[in-house]
Structure 1
Amino acid sequence: MILKHITGSFIRTDKEWLHIAAKKISLAACFYKYVLPLAAIPAISAFIGAAVIGWDIGERNFKFTVESTIPLVIAFYFACIIGVAIIGQAIHWMATTYGTKKDLSTCMLLAITTLSPLFIGGIFALAPIPWVIFLAGLFSLAYSIYLLYTGLPVVMGINQEKGFLFASAVLTIGLVTLVGVLISTVIFWTLGFAPIHV
């Protein structure tokens, strides 16, 4: 089921958005079927890349201890889940402003579908080469933004003009959430949870 939505959002976007708009799913099912598995991709990849393979920077390889990496990966995993929840809730909360209303589970499904390229792109953390991760992240972000602007009007049942404004507002919240996660990471590190080199 999860692969059907992911491939649909990449290959046949119009049909997939209509399917998502009509889909009836509970909030709990939305999380355990889609959010939790997708959020695990970058978290597990980052753990393997940092603690098992190591970062290649120049001619040096930096590897972190398993003990110091696990808490960071767990925190990152939950940060991804919370990020999806914030964006999904924001879509639901702002819907009436743009003359529409959908249930929270549909808004969460819209959020995770638009964010799926970022989560899938996290697999590149398995081979932690900075420029590869940067390019993969840039492409994933661009495609997520594309999905947001094309999918939101269809799922929320509004015209393109309102959809553009709505998507821009959601994008702003997404960027603020990302900054919040980065700040939280810095605080987490200063509290003594920074990764330790092998």
Structure 2
Amino acid sequence: MIHHVLGLFTHPDQEWREIRVDAEKSVSRIYLTHTLILAAIPVVCAFIGTTQVGWKIGGNPPVMLTLDSALWMSALSYLAMLVGVGVMASFIHWMARTYDAVPSMARCVAFATYTATPLFIAGLAALYPQMWLALLVGTATICYTVFLLFVGVPTVMNIDPDEGFLFSSSILAVGLVVLVAIIAFSVIVWGLGIGPTYIS
């Protein structure tokens, strides 16, 4: 797994070809050896950052979450990321037929996971939860994730690059919809009174 992660940052074209060959495993195996581990990075970092470091707003003392609140929110975030990868993989698998591609579901899960790898790795920034750092890292990460998506689709799905551009655009649009749905769900949950609890 680690060599694929490093390869996506150093030589993405070649790494996508290796991932395509390596991804023919079971869906459960890919989740256990890749998705569960990578998705844990932002969750663990955010838990540490929000309970041990906190946000500093102006000259005020840091704002931190209680351990119970941070644990509950981390668990929900982890579940949302795992479901998000599954939804994206299912969409990719379904949409591939439009482009005469026949990838296995395992390959689609691997593709969704590795495309989101920069987002997972960027979770390290949550160890120091500051707005300027989140914006800087987030912007760079989203740009690189989109780049990986557009480079990876033709290779992993074995389709023409022109069709790959259209396929990638569709995946990007659905990814934005999934993101908005997760944010909307969070707002609803917070509205029900299950929001963060801060240390006073």
Same fold (TM over 0.5): yes
* Runs of 5+ consecutive residues of structure 1 not aligned to the other structure: none
How far apart, CA to CA, are the structure 1 residues paired with 2:152 and 2:57? 38
How far does residue 22 in structure 1 lie from its aligned partner after superposition?
Answer: 1.5
How far apart, CA to CA, are the structure 1 residues paired with 2:190 and 2:48? 20
Partner of 1:15: 14
The C-alpha deviation readout for 1:109-160, integer Å capped at 9, x for no partner, is 1111110000000110100011101111111111000000001110100111
SS at 1:41 equivalent: helix
Task: Extract structure 1 runs of 4+ deviating beyond 2 A.
Answer: none
How far apart, CA to CA, are the structure 2 residues paired with 1:115 and 1:84? 8
Name the amino acid aligned to 1:22.
Answer: V
Does residue 76 in structure 1 map to residue 77 in structure 2?
yes
Partner of 2:164: 163
Counterparts of 1:47-66 in structure 2, within 5 Å, are: 47-60=47-60, 61-66=62-67
How far does residue 99 in structure 1 lie from its aligned partner after superposition?
Answer: 1.5
Does residue 40 in structure 1 map to residue 45 in structure 2?
no
SS at 2:56 equivalent: strand
Does residue 3 in structure 1 map to residue 2 in structure 2?
yes
Name the amino acid aligned to 1:141.
Answer: I
SS at 1:172 equivalent: helix
After superposition, the CA RMSD in angstroms is: 0.9
How far apart, CA to CA, are the structure 1 residues paired with 2:27 and 2:183? 27
How far apart, CA to CA, are the structure 2 residues paired with 1:173 and 1:8? 26
Q: TM-score, normalised by structure 2?
A: 0.96
How far does residue 197 in structure 1 lie from its aligned partner after superposition?
Answer: 1.5
The C-alpha deviation readout for 1:152-181, integer Å capped at 9, x for no partner, is 110100111100000000000100000011
Partner of 2:120: 119
Partner of 2:129: 128
Report if aligned partners of 1:57, 1:130 keep a CA contact under 8 Å in 2: no
